[in-house]
Amino acid sequence: MASLQDAFERIGDAAEHHLPLTHAAGIAIGVADHEELLGIVVRGFADVAAQLPVRPETRFQIGSISKQFASIVAMQEVEAGRLDLHVSVNELLPWLELPEPLGAITMHHLLTHTSGLPQGMEEAPAGPGAVVVLRDVPPTFPPGERFHYSNTGYKIVGYVLEEVTGTPIHELLVERVLGPLGMRHSQADITPESYLTTAVGYEPMFDDRPPHLNHPLAPAPRIASNTADGSIVSTIADMGSYARLLIGGGTTVVDEHEVTVLSPAMFDVLVEGRADTDDAGVRYAYGLDVWTHQDGRRFLAHTGGMVGYTAHLIVDRDSGLACIALQNGGGDKDLLVKYAIEAVRAAVNGMPVAPAPHPPAPTELPKADELAGTYVGERTIELQRTSDGLRLVDGALGVLLERWPDTEDAFCAPHPSWDRFLLRVVRDDAGVVTELTHGPARFAPEGRELVPAAEPDPAWAGFEGFYRSNDPWSPTRRVFLRGGRLWSQLPAYGSEDPLTPLDDGSFAGEDPAIPHRWRFENVIDGRAMSVWHDGGRLYRSFEG
């Protein structure tokens, strides 16, 4: 029979194998049941320079997990009869003047990310300025029609709650949720003072290219924020107190006293899945992902990301267990938190605990054999299958490819001459490789012709380049031409999006219904000096 100690030792083993494969310095993991925090695992550093380890009392920014807290207050206001989720937010916030060309945008739409509003630029990270930019960014699909994650939408949620209650949102979250739950080491605003008692946030040093694992970490920029989309700072123990509230359906025990933050009826409203997300089988409730496991167990979850921090919360409602992971840096924690839940579930039920998962090495590529070969473009390259992985050979250069997370067809080539873009595999409908791309470059398998590129608008060449802003979330964009189309790269995330020209001279993404818009501006000698994107601006850099 496994003990809880066995389970947490194995969770610690899993964390030790997880951390080196992330862009993070440290991590804290806790598992709670409906009564207590059953155990905590800490690994790595809260402050690398000071060699200060993560401790159970270390504070982290929890990012978008904060959205649940605002949603809970919204449910309280609905139950009290002071808030209607189904009227236009312009009625609730007359100063907002939000365009509604496709129908009224309501709190329900904001809470479920179905408003049609963009995710948001962080040119104005806090204050009403962060949302008034939306006056120039109309929705691109009718509210309620589809799911598109919007941080800016949850900022509006916070301002509505401030208007309804007369209390600043960060004070309101403390008064209504953090305080009643005894979360004494948490706060709902990020201030300069908060960094004195918070783990140092880290991110890869280079912001002009996709990160690979030999890039050094650097302290992330510090921000100040109290917006409802993600401003809570907390500890693993305090988050355990919050997780018990979710396990308890809105009620929990704090200091031996029963505390009800949300009535059972309103808790059911909170966790009802209302919009299909981009993940199969997962629906979005109010501030929470919800799904049912194949064995019938119901789950609640959400991830969080801030500048230099990430977090993950998962609740197994039927087993009465929850796992929280807080990390000062980036990295996918889904496998880790799900393993932690299952390890503790096995232990408390007297079952064997499965061995800790050891993620494969980044150079372990499942489809390496089928990708090996010669590829021809402006020059010829090879992908060579070797005993240690798949090696890119470009003339005298040979570099071992690393798998990019969550895909089998994109790779880092960790060498300065190749690391500005991911090497991507393009397949036809039958799964046959038709080309490789690397930023603007295209390579066809030897013996196969590239699909001819369309003729681009001559003006588009003046849009190519590297652009910067003071947005700490995504400070850089690279724009390039490939295959007769303009593409926008978000370097730090590795993503590349084809741009679709619109009749007014601006650009949408590949799907014009998704609320992303680009407009190139201030053209001098045929070159755009800036690009307006979703309410913010980036400016051409000499790094071009």
Using one digit for the tens of pLDDT, what is the confidence trace for 352-367?
A: 999 999 888 999 998 9
Handedness of CA 166, 171, 175, 181 (dihedral sign): positive
Distance (Å, whole) CA 540 – CA 543? 8
What CA–CA distances, in Å, run from 200 to 142, 240, 345, 381? 41, 22, 32, 41
Tell me what the pLDDT averaged over the chain comes to. Answer: 95
pLDDT of 544 > 80? The answer is no
Q: How confident is the model at residue 473 (pLDDT cuts 50, 70, 90)?
A: confident
pLDDT of 2 > 70? The answer is no
DSSP bridge pairs for 21 = none
Q: How confident is the model at residue 205 (pLDDT cuts 50, 70, 90)?
A: very high
Give residue 137's pLDDT. 87
DSSP 8-state code for residue 133: G
Using one digit for the tens of pLDDT, what is the confidence trace for 265-324?
A: 999 999 999 999 999 999 999 999 999 999 999 999 999 999 999 999 999 999 999 999
Which pairs with CB-CB distance under 8 Å and at least 24 residues apart come from 205-210?
A: 207/475, 207/476, 207/491, 207/492, 208/420, 208/466, 208/476, 208/478, 208/491, 208/543, 209/419, 209/420, 209/421, 209/491, 210/404, 210/412, 210/419, 210/421, 210/422, 210/491, 210/492, 210/493, 210/494
Please state the three-class secondary structure of 455-487 as a single string. CCCHHHHHCCEEEECCCCCCCEEEEEEECCEEE
Burial of 395 (0-12, 13-18, 19+ CB in 10 A): exposed
Q: How confident is the model at residue 126 (pLDDT cuts 50, 70, 90)?
A: low
Burial of 27 (0-12, 13-18, 19+ CB in 10 A): buried
Residues in the chain: 544
**37 in Cβ contact with 369 (< 8 Å):** no
Give residue 124's pLDDT. 59
Q: How confident is the model at residue 445 (pLDDT cuts 50, 70, 90)?
A: very high
State the average pLDDT over residues 90-119. 96
Tokens of 257: 């006293």
pLDDT of 161 > 90? The answer is yes
Report DSSP letters for 284-346, one per residue. Answer: E-SS-EEEE-TTS-EEEEEEEEETTEEEEEEEETTTTEEEEEEEEEE---HHHHHHHHHHHHH
pLDDT of 128 > 90? The answer is no
Give residue 326's pLDDT. 98
pTM recorded for the entire structure: 0.95
Minimum mean pLDDT range among 114-123, 323-332, 449-458: 114-123
pLDDT of 239 > 70? The answer is yes
Give residue 443's pLDDT. 98
What CA–CA distances, in Å, run from 338 to 14, 41, 276, 393? 11, 15, 21, 38
pLDDT of 123 > 70? The answer is no
State the average pLDDT over residues 135-154. 94
Distance (Å, whole) CA 290 – CA 281? 9
Q: How many CA atoms lie within 13 A of 120 on its CB side?
A: 27
| DSSP percent split of the chain into helix, strand, coil, nearest 5 | 25, 30, 45
